[in-house]
Amino acid sequence: MKIISTAERPVNLLEIIGASIVGGMETYVLRLLERLPQDSFRVTCLCVAEGKLASQLRSIGCSVHITPITDEPDWQAVLLGSSLIRTDAIDVIHAHLPNAHSLAGILSRLTDTPAVSTIHGRYLSMRDFEVHKLMNTHINVVAKTAYFHALTLGVPSTKLRFIPNGIDTKIFQPAPKSNYLHSLIKIPPETPLVGFIGRLSPEKGPGVFVQVARIAQRKLKNCHFVLVGEGPMRRELQKEIDEYGLKDHIHIVGLQRDITKIYPCLDLVVSTSYSEAMPLVIVEAMASGLPVVATNVGGVVDIVEVGGTGLLKGPGDTEGLANDVITLMTDNSTRIQMGAAARKRAEEKFDLSDIVAQTAQLLRSLTQGGIKGSDADTTKGYRKARS
């Protein structure tokens, strides 16, 4: 029987998607799979549960199956994965999060199918490194810190690729000012508005944002501050805002399903995270023509051009962050100029079409025996994103 090369037919791709409490990884997967050319890739997905993600994946044409994806791989998942690889003639496995990487590694060795895991954090976990060493899987990272961490641990460059997160710059783009949020929180439409967008959990530092707003508001009397998102800290944050007597100036609006409606309402985006890999919110804000004030953690320094597209301070530096907010909110010319530069940088460095093309090339290369070329060639993705 003639075996048809993947150069002559679509690549059959198995995506294994681990459980996550945050939305960044799921957003990455959805944006990637809905933009992979359907004439070049046929996608089967393994998910941990039915729900919104599974429904969205089916809506874009993926075949979706549900199975336990645990830290210690479940035998049911191994059986289902092996069967899918055989019946769907899977050419390459792509995993997300350490538990999915463990399952992908086992399936790779059992079926002799190449596997790659995308690391969504700023470092490799010990589990990801162990699976790579034992199962000979490939590693793709979205943050430069993870790239160098992997090299330091001993992951060979021939098994490693750096492809940053990307966003659709046609969806996220400068738009006329909107008063959507202003109507929601009942403030005049001309009121300046500074925003935090993210999960209301400790690692994102929403409490730092409240402190920054408290300090900045002393000088920015007419400015309001808004937290967009949900999470376990919401009640604590609201209590703090009330105790400061700032409930009329600091607002929590909860989760907003259409995030594209939020950016045109804002004058400035602030990210106060203690830990990040390559946060999509910052890239989305920049693509929307907004400068950012952010903490210099993880891959943020690779996104923000300090003094050009935004300003950075150390994590937890409430005074420094507040001063940066005051500086930009009292200098309209500089803020607008930074916003224009932010848009340009997002288009040049983080456009999703480029990111999808690089990922498609990586997946196809694995069906042909791995990442080809010299060590210099294998780091092409890193050098392109760095420049």
Can you give the CATH number for the domain in which 98 is found?
3.40.50.2000
User: How much is the pTM?
Assistant: 0.86
269 DSSP β-pair partners: 195, 292
Tell whether 136 is covered by a domain: yes
**42 contacts: CB under 8 Å, gap ≥ 6:** 10, 11, 12, 13, 88
Give the pLDDT of residue 370.
Answer: 57
Count of C-beta atoms within a 10 Å radius of residue 4: 9
List Cβ<8 Å contacts ≥24 apart for 60-68.
60/30, 60/33, 60/34, 62/15, 62/33, 63/88
Q: Are residues 337 and 360 in the same domain?
A: no
Give the pLDDT of residue 11.
Answer: 96
Query: Are 287 and 343 contacting, i.e. CB atoms less than 8 angstroms apart?
Result: yes
Give the pLDDT of residue 298.
Answer: 87
Q: Are residues 193 and 316 in the same domain?
A: yes
pLDDT tens, position by position, for the chain (387 residues)? 334 556 668 999 999 999 865 567 888 999 999 999 989 999 999 999 999 999 999 999 999 999 999 988 899 999 999 999 999 999 999 999 999 999 999 999 999 999 999 999 889 999 999 999 999 999 999 999 999 999 999 999 999 999 998 999 999 999 999 999 999 999 999 999 999 999 999 999 999 999 999 999 999 999 999 999 999 999 999 999 999 999 999 999 999 989 999 999 999 999 999 988 889 999 999 999 999 999 999 889 999 999 999 999 999 999 999 999 999 999 999 999 999 999 999 999 999 999 999 999 999 999 987 554 333 343 334 334 334
Domain count, the chain: 2
Element (H, E) at 133: helix 126-135
Q: Which amino acid is at 357?
A: A
Q: Are residues 269 and 331 in the same domain?
A: yes
Alpha-carbon torsion, ordered 171, 174, 177, 181, to 10 deg: 50
Task: Give the range of the structural domain holding residue 37, as residue numbers without chain letter.
Answer: 11-166+351-386
Q: Are residues 145 and 197 in the same domain?
A: no
Tell whether 5 is covered by a domain: no
Q: Are residues 192 and 220 in the same domain?
A: yes
Q: Are residues 344 and 355 in the same domain?
A: no
153, burial (CB in 10 Å: exposed 0-12, middle 13-18, buried 19+) = middle
Give the pLDDT of residue 65.
Answer: 97
Q: Are residues 339 and 192 in the same domain?
A: yes
What tokens does 180 get?
């959507």
